[in-house]
Amino acid sequence: MKRTNRKRKAFTLVELLVVVLIISMLAAFVAPRMFRGIGRTKSQLTRAKMATIENVLGRFYIDCGRYPDDSEGLEALIIAPPDLEEKWSGPYVKQSELLDLWENPYIYIAEGEINPGTFDLISWGADGMEGGEGDDEDIYND
């Protein structure tokens, strides 16, 4: 009997394992850099969103003659404070616009420590708590 040698056109198990190992190594080096970039982008977009809220607070100031106080907070941009119902021409923003990109509410301080004479607007970052580094770093209005 004659045996015919047929050449198989397939990958061996060793070749497949080597390819999987190489792809895994590349993913291990590239993935952290990609996720770090996403956190940086969220911080930049949060700053841009804060600038929009600052502009809205400026419109509130022009209409009402003052910024909201601490007891009113940013809610004064959505619901008219009782003493300003005649001057108030809002709502100035939607409720969802008062959340940062991590879905945490912005902190509003009427008498600013960072910005004396006006107000402070703060995002506590990804962790939603004061302090932190990297993605958890606090973001203040300039």
Task: Read off the CATH number of the domain in which 59 is found.
Answer: 3.30.700.10
Residue 34 confidence (pLDDT) above 80: no
pTM above 0.75?
Answer: no
Domain annotation covers residue 21: no
Domain annotation covers residue 132: yes
Length of the chain: 142
CB contact set of 87 (below 8 Å; sequence gap of 6+): 63, 64, 65
Residue 63: predicted pLDDT? 93
Band (111; pLDDT cuts 50, 70, 90): confident
**Contact (CB, 8 A) for 107 and 50:** no
pLDDT digits 0-9 by tens, 72-107: 999 999 999 998 889 998 799 999 899 988 899 999
Band (32; pLDDT cuts 50, 70, 90): confident
Q: Tokens 């004479």, residue?
A: 117
Residue 50: predicted pLDDT? 92
Domain annotation covers residue 14: no
Domain annotation covers residue 6: no
Domain annotation covers residue 107: yes
According to DSSP, the β-strands at 139-140 and 107-109 are: unpaired
**Contact (CB, 8 A) for 129 and 104:** no
What is the span of the domain harbouring residue 70? Answer: 39-140
Residue 52: predicted pLDDT? 92
Q: Give how many domains the chain has, as a whole number.
A: 1
What is the longest distance spanned by two Cα atoms in the chain? 105
Domain annotation covers residue 60: yes
pLDDT digits 0-9 by tens, 51-80: 999 999 999 999 999 999 999 999 999 999
Mean of per-residue pLDDT scores for the chain: 85
Quick one: DSSP state of residue 84? Answer: G
Domain annotation covers residue 115: yes
Residue 78: predicted pLDDT? 93
Domain annotation covers residue 68: yes
Residue 4 confidence (pLDDT) above 80: no
